Amino acid sequence: MLNSMIRSAKESLKARQASGGPIVKLAVTALVLPWKTALAVKNIIFNSNYRSIVRLLLFSSRKVHQTSSFTSMDRYPVIFSASRDYFQDKQELNILSYGCSTGEEVLTLRQYFPNARIIGTDINKHSLAQCRRLPVDGRMDFIYSSPDEIRKHGPFDAIFCMAVLQRRPHRVAANKTASLAAIYPFERFEETVAMLDSLMNPNGLLIIHFTQYSLMDTKVASGYDILGDYDQYDYLSPTFDVNSQVIPGRKPLNSIFIKKSP
């Protein structure tokens, strides 16, 4: 009830701001700004997840990709099943979940790959603390995401990088953002893809799913074949080119890539 009243008040303020003259716009801004500030302060005090994201934006802004920690069990069954089928004759796998959030992805991967060693990594220490409370076996581990730390556990037969290499996809879609240059330039994506590439075993799978850019646009593209036509079928954000500019229309983005043998 309270939530719907707040929502309709927000919508009516937005409508007035959009339709009104400069004085109305100024008055609405003067009302909205203290409201937003109060909300942020409340979240910083009472919401530990929100606090962890503010900390990331303040102290790790050069390293963090997607800040939201949203995740769930078996979030990508089609991609997970295709990856399991690809490795049907190989049991001893070393797998990385890059951006594992609170660990559901690692628990899910265990169901698809019962004999694998699985490392989950995340840059959000608050999420990692939750991972470390999960009931895991001796062949699963969670580590802080830094290239040096990850390298100690590699190389990997499969790297799952799901819903990590992107920024504010919902807001970008809603605002019809034409360029990601200011918030998430292509170079940030490419640099991380190159780092992940350096951790790959030949014939392994690099899975980059739910992302605003394409691996095939990066400098490591020639080292990969595409597996199947697994597109980001239900990804709602627009996608962007090497200049961080929006690609008009929807360009299908593949998700599963096979690292070629040298």
Ligand X SMILES: C[S@@+](CC[C@H](N)C(=O)[O-])C[C@H]1O[C@@H](n2cnc3c(N)ncnc32)[C@H](O)[C@@H]1O
Binding stretches for ligand X (CB under 6 A): 63-66, 68-71, 75, 98-101, 105, 121-124, 127, 145, 162-164
Q: Closer CB to ligand X, residue 16 or residue 51?
A: 51
CB of 225 to ligand X, least distance (A): 23
CB of 5 to ligand X, least distance (A): 30
- Tokens 């303040």 sit on residue: 58
Residue burial 88-127, b: 16+ Cβ < 10 Å; e: rest = eeeeebbbbbbbbbbbbbbbbbbebbeebbbbbbbbbebb
Q: Closer CB to ligand X, residue 60 or residue 203?
A: 60
Q: Closer CB to ligand X, residue 28 or residue 93?
A: 93
CB of 71 to ligand X, least distance (A): 3
Rg of the chain on CA atoms, in Å: 21
What distance in Å separates the CA atoms of residue 96 and residue 149, rounded to the nearest whole number? 12
CB of 147 to ligand X, least distance (A): 9
Do residues 24 and 17 touch, judged by C-beta distance below 8 A?
Answer: yes
What distance in Å separates the CA atoms of residue 212 and residue 168, rounded to the nearest whole number? 10
CB of 28 to ligand X, least distance (A): 32
What distance in Å separates the CA atoms of residue 145 and residue 229, rounded to the nearest whole number? 30
- Of 195, 208, 221, 203, whose CA–CA distance to 253 is shortest? 208
Q: Closer CB to ligand X, residue 10 or residue 170?
A: 170
Structure tokens at 70: 């949203």
